[in-house]
Amino acid sequence: MSIELNVVREGQGPIVVLSHALGCDLHMWDGVAASLARAHTVIRYDHRNHGGSAKSAEAFGIETLADDAIALIEREAVGETVHFVGLSMGGMTAQALAARRPDLLRSVVIANSSAFYPDQSPWLARVQTVASQGVAAIAPGAVSRWLTPEWVSTFEGQAAMVSIDYVPTNMRVESPLKGIKILQTDPVRSLDEQDKWKKLFEDTVLKKAGA
């Protein structure tokens, strides 16, 4: 089922689509988008149930997020192939998108992501934490997974902590109910794209290499 997504488009040139992580929004890409927009058309968007996009009360998976991305690309790119960049949940969306509609893509960047989580207990624990303590309780843990303690101790790491401070801040102002809805309809927890990714690799990389 299609849904209205919050979209920001800027710059001129080859199209780059930026897909954010779970619990964040398109502002996660502010710095990257500003740099890329000097020579590219940059399209970033909020996933459903995130940021300024419409909310869905129904449970959904990565395939639904891929459908959202497909509709977005078809509308915004008008026949032009795009570079699709996804981080964490955005990277999972990229995998499903590439497996289903490679014809829409010029390239795919999958950052800090996975095709499968054998242990789902961390995601269940997050749901329980949000339910009892609110979204603020999981914000520090999210940032600690993005930046290593060693790097945070450096000058560059400290600057990065300041620059991404808006992420946990945004998470803290969300209501617990909204956070629970995001996590209970969490497409990440049930992710398993291994077979699709294997087939995509065989159909593209190996065939192009003549293997």
What are the tens digits of pLDDT across the range 81-101? 999 999 988 998 998 999 899
pLDDT greater than 60 at residue 20 = yes
User: Residue 166: pLDDT band by 50, 70, 90 thresholds?
Assistant: very low
* CATH topology classification for 1-116+192-211: Rossmann fold (3.40.50)
Residue 176: per-residue pLDDT: 40
Residue 67, CA distances (Å) to 29, 39, 146 in order: 21, 28, 27
Nearest to 40 by CA among 110, 106, 112: 106
Mean pLDDT of the chain: 78
Residue 181: per-residue pLDDT: 46
Domains of the chain by residue range: 1-116+192-211, 117-190
List the beta strands (DSSP E) in 34-104: 41-45, 82-87
Residue 177: per-residue pLDDT: 40
Nearest to 31 by CA among 165, 205, 153: 165
